[in-house]
A and B are shown apart, each in its own frame.
Chain A
């Protein structure tokens, strides 16, 4: 069972209180973008075995969206953080580096 701490209400919520929202930190390409950019925005997703960044919503709780960094292989959770950011904060990156030295994800490392 996956347990994530909601950064807004502090609740350690188990999976049934949460709604998975897919990959984190996607940049939206809409009107004015090229067909290639729009295609990648719509369809291209990371599917890593290991470090991953996701969006989750505390659906049966405070209702807020937040971010989580976790390992898809072991279900280890490195941390959760606010939705009001374009990239993972430094303390989350440090927590991942401590457990998975040399990790990469898209253009992050």
Chain B
């Protein structure tokens, strides 16, 4: 078996924020009926997470579940276990009207950390990223300049950004330019 390699091999840029490629991340796209108890139980069985509220990400003991739309979740699990978890999920979903697919290798993942993290992302996405508006656990699908992307914020002030692998290099260069030391605007300075 060949060695899986992430889109940019851990590329990193340090400016007003640090932008780094997060490496391989197991991701399962799951669609189904959120109102079904069996659906929620299946999500919980492979992530340990409850169903996320609208626009939020729910962290679990074994992974995380993010709200993508009214009938779609993004489940995050360790990359090495994604096939096994997908099989377990499909088993748990027996009888449910649902569809799950491993999307791990279709994606690139970045982390933006440091004081300028909110500003770095705000410059390229049409989203209010002020501390009042965008809080830890918030999850947002939007666009980053010209391409689609999704991101969420954790309790340490670090954003995780997910985009298609095919535009991984574009997003890395975009975020790096946005984090350039001479590009600081200071809009979210306390």
A residues adjacent to B (C-beta < 8 A)? 8-11, 13-14, 16-17, 60-64
| Residue pair A17, B69 in contact (C-beta under 8 Å) | no
The residue in chain A whose Cβ has the minimal distance to the Cβ of B148 is A60
A14 partner residues in chain B, CB cutoff 8 A: 126
Most buried by B among A8, A16, A17, A61: A61
Q: Are A62 and B69 in contact (CB under 8 A)?
A: yes
- Nearest Cβ on chain B to A77's Cβ, whole angstroms: 17
Q: Encode contact with A along B139-180: 1 for CB under 8 Å, 0 otherwise.
A: 011110000100000000000000000000000000000000
Interface size of B in residues (CB-CB distance below 8 Å)? 13
A9 CA / B71 CA spacing, docked (Å) = 11
Residues of B that sit less than 8 Å from A by CB: 54-55, 67-70, 72, 126, 140-143, 148
Q: Chain A residues near B148 (CB, 8 Å)?
A: 60
| Contact between B54 and A17, CB atoms less than 8 A apart | no
Within 8 Å CB of B140, what residues of A? Answer: 11
Contact present for B54 and A64 (CB under 8 Å):
no
C-alpha spacing A10/B72, complex, angstroms: 15
Determine the distance from Cα of A60 to Cα of B140 in the docked complex, in whole angstroms: 10
Task: Given the known inter-chain contacts A9-B55, A60-B142, please indicate yes or no for A16 contacting B69, CB distance below 8 A.
Answer: no
A57 to chain B, nearest CB (A): 12
Closest to A15 in B: B126
Which residue of chain A has the shortest Cβ distance to B141 in the bound complex? A61
Known contacts A9-B54, A9-B55, A10-B55; is-contact A17 B142 (Cβ 8 Å): yes
Distance of A11 Cα from B134 Cα, bound (Å)? 12
Roughly how many angstroms separate A60 CA and B67 CA in the complex, as a whole number? 14
Contact B126 A16 (CB under 8 A): yes
Task: Determine the distance from Cα of A94 to Cα of B86 in the docked complex, in whole angstroms.
Answer: 48
Q: How far is the CA of A13 from the CA of B67 in the complex (A)?
A: 17
Instruction: Return chain B residues, CB-CB under 8 Å to A60.
Output: 141-143, 148
Is A17 in contact with B143, judged by CB distance below 8 angstroms? yes
Closest to B70 in A: A8
Whose C-beta in chain B lies nearest to the C-beta of A61? B141
Q: Can you name 8 extra interface pairs (CB under 8 A) apart from A16-B143, A60-B141?
A: A9-B55, A10-B55, A11-B55, A16-B126, A17-B143, A62-B69, A63-B68, A64-B70
Residues of B near A17 (CB, < 8 A) are: 126, 142-143
Are A62 and B141 in touch, CB under 8 angstroms? yes
B82 to chain A, nearest CB (A): 23
